[in-house]
Amino acid sequence: MRLHRRLSVPGVFRRSVAKEDGDSPLDPFIRAIEVGRFDGWVGGIAPVALTVVVAIVAARLGAVPALAVGAGFAVGLLVACLAWQRPRWRAQDVLHGYANGREQSWRRDTGGPNPTADPVAAEVWLGVHKAGTVPQFYRAIAAGAAADEHRFGVELGRMTDGTPTDRALKLFAVEGTRFRRSGTADIDELTTLVEELPRSPLRVDLESWLALVKSKRRWSLGQPDWLEPLEAEQSRSERQPLPRGRRLRIWVGRLRPVLVFAVGSLVLGSFAVRAAGSATIRPEYERTTYAIRGDLPGLDDQALVRALPGLEQALSSATRAVEGPLDEAAFDDVVSNSLPTLLWTTGAIEVAKPADAGSHRVWEIEVLLGSGTPASAIVTFDGASGPRYLYRIDAAAFDAVRAAGGLPPATGN
């Protein structure tokens, strides 16, 4: 089901606009103003596709790279919206500004809302608001909306035309009703009259309406610059600001692709990071601890946690670099020559162990991260004072731990 924004345009357009199956000849034209490229399938598919890309990055590389990619995509979507939609937004400003100005005038001058969206409501309104109780212009507009030709002629005949403003309003009532019914209007005489009017909200409304008629003519002829009259009007006219709530709804609609992507990527990206982590990281790791010996240029805790499963797997295929256990002197010598190091104390849980460990249980793994150090780790078995052995481990797992500490990949492993 397609949803469309609703717009009240008193005296000229139907209240429900941009309808695929509307019975007003102006519905397709209004829809062309309201619905742009990013309001159709492009605006629906592009945010979803980019959200999926962010989720994939989050699952494979983590939250930080995903945020960077997502920020880039968001900026790109915003720039695309501005580049492609700005002319249409300017036209929408005139359309909404005109609608708001006439609606406010109707309420101010008649004491109630515009009834012209429904012929029956217009008939009722005419019955309630007797001649002389409201400006005659509004009775003529309501009679035209009621589709009663005789009454429309009577109410139109009661309008005066002694001043340029009176003549402009009378002509506007005639051509506005014609425009609403047929989508065409003769605006030459009204254009001349409007140019003679003093600057006022009424003149701004009439100039906006004339721009809409001109734009409608170009649109009907298939001219590519059909929005130009509305863009020009938006640049030179000062309209009454729209209510804050309506402005917010308009901008939410305009930036919908960016908002959909932002919300979707945050939700789906977070889920992807959590799902990827839960698929590879054992919950028991929360019962282990790690520490750093020496100095690291930086430490990404999340990256380190993601590197631990690889380190455990590498331990199961590790080979001894030195046959016997390290005594205190040898241990101190190896560590002092291999700083910085990562100490992962796993004593509280069972982890994979080297094939030659026999019945021994891994207690602590100290990865030797120093520059020029081969991919190595000292494994302590059975307790804090248990035997220690030096092992060669998988280079990829070793580099993942180095990267988490802010170190470049090792060479010569």
The pLDDT tens digits of the residues spanning 137-171 come to 999 999 998 878 899 999 999 999 889 999 999 99
C-alpha–C-alpha distance, residues 265 and 57, integer Å: 11
Q: Does residue 12 carry a pLDDT above 50? A: no
Residues 286 and 178 in one domain: no
Confidence of residue 292 (pLDDT cuts 50, 70, 90): very high
Q: What is the mean pLDDT of the chain?
A: 85
What is the C-alpha to C-alpha distance for residues 269 and 6, in angstroms, rounded to an integer? 34
**Distance between CA 77 and CA 83 in Å, rounded?**
10
Cα distance between residue 3 and residue 5, in whole Å: 7
Report whether pLDDT(13) > 70. Answer: no
Instruction: Summarize pLDDT for 42-56 with one digit per residue, the tens.
Output: 778 888 899 999 988
Q: Is residue 63 in some structural domain? A: yes
> Mean pLDDT throughout 337-364?
91
| Overall pTM > 0.85 | no
99-142: per-residue pLDDT in tens? Answer: 888 888 889 999 988 888 888 888 999 999 998 899 999 999 99
Quickly count: other Cβ atoms within 10 Å of residue 66's Cβ. Answer: 25
Say how far apart CA 399 and CA 314 lie, in whole Å: 12
> Does residue 38 fall inside a structural domain?
yes
Q: Which residue has the tokens 């929005």?
A: 227
Domain shared by 251 and 287, yes or no: no
In a domain, 346, yes or no: yes
Q: In this structure, is residue 306 part of a structural domain? A: yes
Q: Is 370 left (phi over 0), alpha (psi -120 to 50) or beta?
A: beta
Residue 342, domain extent: 282-404
Q: Are residues 320 and 389 in the same domain?
A: yes
Angle at CA of residue 317, ends 311 and 321, nearest 5°: 95
The model's pLDDT over 64-97, given as tens digits with 9 standing for 90+, comes to: 788 899 999 999 989 988 888 899 999 999 999 9
pLDDT of residue 275: 66
Whether residues 336 and 232 share a domain: the answer is: no
Name the pLDDT band for 227 (thresholds 50, 70, 90).
very high
For the chain, the domain total comes to 2
Contact 214, 187 (CB under 8 A): yes
